[in-house]
Amino acid sequence: YPDASCVVRVVFAPSSIRDYAATLEITAETGGTSTVPLAGFGVDPEQLQVEPTAVTFAPVALGGFATAQVIVTNDSTAPTADIQVFKTGVASADFALSQSCGPLDPGEQCTISIGFKPREVGRREALLNIVANPGGTRLVPLVGDGTP
């Protein structure tokens, strides 16, 4: 079939932290051989560690303010990329972030300070997102209660 095509699906599943290279070779009975270079870098899926893994604030009166910290550690043998820190969730405006997490070399740490100032009475929830590529993603639940 002169205009026929097919899809070749390639899966990359690295077994260690390092550069990988390979060649995909496709041979047709009447069309010769084509090659496609393949490359990838294996990263440690558990590269970023966080402590604590969830933050629960004691109840805070409306107008009050409480703080907590999350420590991020590069727990691997490879450096991370720049680390992005942001919050998501319906009550994310009740939480403030202050951080200076750049790329982390193996064993290095950075601190994320979290402020909680409830805007409403009741349970307030958000997620702290910590993302580095390479380095992985960590989600830290943030929970607090606003009181009258």
For residue range 96-135, what is the model confidence (pLDDT) as tens digits? Answer: 999 878 889 999 999 999 999 999 999 999 999 998 877 7
16-20, 81-85, 89-93: least confidently modelled range: 16-20
CA-based nearest residue to 72, from 47, 97, 55: 47
Q: Given this model, what pLDDT does residue 20 score?
A: 80
DSSP 80-142: --PPEEEEESTTGGGEEEEE------TT-EEEEEEEE--SSSEEEEEEEEEEETTTEEEEEEE
